[in-house]
Amino acid sequence: MTKLPPSSADHAFRLGDAALDLEHKGQLDLLLDIEAELRGSAQKDTLAASLDRLIEFTNLHFMSEQVMMRQQAYPGLPEHEAEHDELMEQMRDFQARIATGNRALCSTDLATLHDWVLRHICTKDAAFADYMARQNASTEAGQGAA
Ligand SMILES: [Fe+2]
Ligand SMILES: [Fe+2]
């Protein structure tokens, strides 16, 4: 199971794109908050509100990433979009389980969800960040040659 550092600001899942890195930090920090709440004595209402924030933030982040991909004509968009949809479904499933499930089970589920998000950032989002960097490099090279 992946163990997240206390702050996600300065670690390997930074992809080198300021906007993406900032949004990923927000997403991972929200997950850390929920983990801390689950370990602590947070009430169901508090957890539900935190999950609402995570889901809303993640949805906005995924939409903004997909807009960037369309703007860059990213060929991996359909596959990436499908994984976003799957992650949103996992988050909504978790939200439903936390409303009824036991806390220990929810902690395991949340750790799994956290791993999914990290894996997505380190693989699928990293591939898109590489693509953007290559596109920018070739645009700059083209401008240099003009
Ligand atoms: Fe992302
Ligand atoms: Fe993504």
Separation of 125 CA from ligand 1 center, angstroms? 5
Q: How far apart are the first and last CA of the chain?
A: 50
Separation of 145 CA from ligand 1 center, angstroms? 33
- Asked whether residue 57 is assigned to any structural domain, the reply reads yes
- Asked whether residue 103 is assigned to any structural domain, the reply reads yes
Q: Going by C-beta distance under 8 Å and a sequence separation of 6 or more, which residues neighbour residue 84?
A: 62, 65, 66
Residue 36's domain is classified under what CATH number? Answer: 1.20.120.50
* Amino acid in position 100: T
Q: What is the pLDDT of residue 6?
A: 45
- Asked whether residue 49 is assigned to any structural domain, the reply reads yes
Separation of 124 CA from ligand 1 center, angstroms? 8
CA distance 81 to 66: 7
Total domains in the fold of the chain: 1
| Contact of 77 with 63, CB cutoff 8 Å | no
- Asked whether residue 6 is assigned to any structural domain, the reply reads no
- Asked whether residue 130 is assigned to any structural domain, the reply reads yes
Separation of 133 CA from ligand 1 center, angstroms? 16
CA of 84, nearest ligand number? 2
Containing domain of residue 63, as a range? 18-145
The model's pLDDT over 128-137, given as tens digits with 9 standing for 90+, comes to 999 999 998 8
Separation of 104 CA from ligand 2 center, angstroms? 29
- Asked whether residue 33 is assigned to any structural domain, the reply reads yes
CA distance 57 to 35: 17
Tell me how far the alpha carbon of residue 107 is from its chain's centroid: 18
The structure's pTM equals: 0.85
Q: What is the pLDDT of residue 108?
A: 87
CA distance 76 to 131: 10
Burial class of residue 71 (count of CB atoms within 10 Å of its CB; 0-12, 13-18, 19+)? exposed
- Asked whether residue 1 is assigned to any structural domain, the reply reads no
- Asked whether residue 4 is assigned to any structural domain, the reply reads no
82 or 6: which leads in pLDDT: 82
